[in-house]
Amino acid sequence: MMRTLVALCVLALFGLIVFTFLRDGSAPVLKLTPQTDAASYTTDFSLSLTSNRAGLKECVISATQDNKRVDFVRKIFPDKQLSHTENFRLPREAGFKEGPLELSITVRDNALLSFLGRGKSHLIQNLTLDFSPPRLNVNPGIHHVNQGGVAVVSYTVSKPLVHTGVNVGQRFFPAFQQPGGEWVCYFGMPHDMAPSDFKPKITARDKAGNEGSQTISVLAIPKVFKSDNLNIPDEFLNDKMSQYTAMYPAEKTPLDIYKRVNTELRKQNEAELLKIGQDTSPTPLWSGPFLRLPNAAGRAGFGDQRDYYYKGEKIDHQTHMGVDLASLANAPVPAANTGRIVFAGFFGIYGNCVIIDHGLGLQSLYSHLSEIAVAKNAQVKKGDVIGKTGVTGLAGGDHLHFAMIVSGLQVSPTEWWDEHWIKDNVQKHLSK
């Protein structure tokens, strides 16, 4: 009888231990972002805490420098929640100085065996405090920028950076560091931005999160863009909208499909150009003026303001963001300059399309092609045939829609055909 009782007690004790271990679960999981070894008072840290079963009990965050410890976050969890995110910065009032600092995080949960060290996690992050913002030295020169056009700036910075470029309104144009150490940035003045609102500013952020900035001296030149009225006939709608029927199955008529293609799909394509613009070489791939489609007559121009009419009723308004060039039907299309193919395929309103990257965010676009003769990632030289003109997409007749793009912003192509403009505005920043 005694043996049976002892056995039952041992079994019960074993069961209690198993239950306790299962109930406690594993130790809390900590994840600190950013994973960095440099910080400042403006660095935004985010600490993610997760407890499997026992629930969180306490979190303590402290910083130690020169044997002085400061506990600046102490979070208690009375409701035993299973997860929590704590956002924090280093406290200015602690008076830390530049140099090494140890960040320490301790988290406990409600483990029953806490006296054995269970339910506790600890993280130490060694940091170097840096409170000095980057100092910018912009290369001299007055920048003349046409509305819808491009400018280039080059500059040096006093320290390594993790992010820098030019801000124009809500747009950001990234800069690229060149082998000699200078940073170079192509930036544009949107066609729909008033010259008085064009105030480009260089921003730079170092590894610790310190930021420096400097405005760029510019002379913004206004442009008057042409206005056109375009009539959309049923013949065009019946011929073209079959390309897009699968995208808008709920629409019953070619006109309804067209309205969505000319607005929604156009905006979607513009957003995709921003993403494609990130696939770029950090150094220039091109040289000299860009080629124009040979023996081609100019049709629609960059920035043309278009009102669309159907049976006398205005149905839409859009801006033409390239130059239309008409030659012979199915004319060979040369690469305007040397670069790498970053897109080759059907591209919404543009139909069959090729986009070439020329480096530093500069790209050229060729659309409405009847044939595509290149594949993504292929290297092409200036003059190489990349396809043939056609009528795919929203083209009303055989032609090439040619566009120039800077970090996703479509800009006037005519500047890039002008050797003198390139020499005066671009080349001087690339040859330093």
Q: How far is CA 130 from CA 37, 263, 304, 378, in A?
A: 10, 48, 50, 43
Q: How far apart are CA 62 and CA 80, in angstroms?
A: 22
Q: Residues 254, 369: one domain?
A: yes
Residue where a domain stops, chosen among 221, 249, 274: 221
Buried b (16+ CB within 10 A) or exposed e, 78-112: eeeebebebebebeeeeebeeeebebebbbbbbbe
Q: Residues 92, 204: one domain?
A: no
Which tokens go with 415? Answer: 């500047």
H or E stretch including 10?
helix 2-24
pLDDT of residue 117: 53
| Residue bearing tokens 């809500």 | 170
pTM comes to 0.88
Identify the domain containing residue 367 by its residue range.
Answer: 227-430
Per-residue pLDDT 10s for the chain (432 aa) are 555 554 444 444 444 443 444 444 589 999 999 999 999 999 999 999 999 888 999 999 999 999 999 999 999 999 999 999 999 999 999 999 999 999 999 999 998 865 555 789 999 999 999 999 999 999 986 678 999 999 999 999 999 999 999 999 999 999 999 999 999 999 999 999 999 999 999 999 999 999 999 999 999 999 999 999 999 999 999 999 999 999 999 999 999 999 999 999 999 999 999 999 999 999 999 999 999 999 999 999 999 999 999 999 999 999 999 999 999 999 999 999 999 999 999 999 999 999 999 999 999 999 999 999 999 999 999 999 999 999 999 999 999 999 999 999 999 999 999 999 999 999 888 865
Q: How far is CA 324 from CA 48, 346, 362, in A?
A: 53, 18, 20
Q: What residues are paired with 83 via a beta bridge?
A: 50
Tally Cβ neighbours within 10 Å of residue 272.
14
CATH number at residue 350: 2.70.70.10
Q: Residues 419, 274: one domain?
A: yes
For every residue of 61-125, DSSP letters joined together read: EEEEETTEEEEEEEEE-TT--SEEEEEE---GGG---SEEEEEEEEEEE--TTGGGTTTEEEEEE
Give residue 296's identity as a one-letter amino acid code. A
Determine what percent of the chain is predicted with pLDDT higher than 90: 88
Q: Residues 280, 426: one domain?
A: yes
When divided into structural domains, the chain yields a total of: 3
pLDDT of residue 143: 75
Q: Residues 266, 305: one domain?
A: yes
Q: Residues 158, 234: one domain?
A: no
Q: Residues 302, 179: one domain?
A: no
Q: What residues are paired with 156 via a beta bridge?
A: 137
Burial class (CB in 10 A: 0-12, 13-18, 19+), 316: middle
Q: Residues 155, 92: one domain?
A: no
**Beta carbons of 82 and 51 less than 8 angstroms apart:** yes
Q: Residues 314, 217: one domain?
A: no
Burial class (CB in 10 A: 0-12, 13-18, 19+), 303: buried
Residue where a domain stops, chosen among 100, 129, 158: 129
Q: Residues 325, 270: one domain?
A: yes
Q: How far apart are CA 80 and CA 103, in angstroms?
A: 25
SS (H, E, C) 404-427: EEECCEEECHHHHHCHHHHHHHHH
SS (H, E, C) 255-269: HHHHHHHHHHHHHHH
Residue where a domain stops, chosen among 96, 129, 162: 129
Q: Residues 59, 121: one domain?
A: yes
Q: Residues 210, 234: one domain?
A: no
CATH number at residue 160: 2.60.40.10
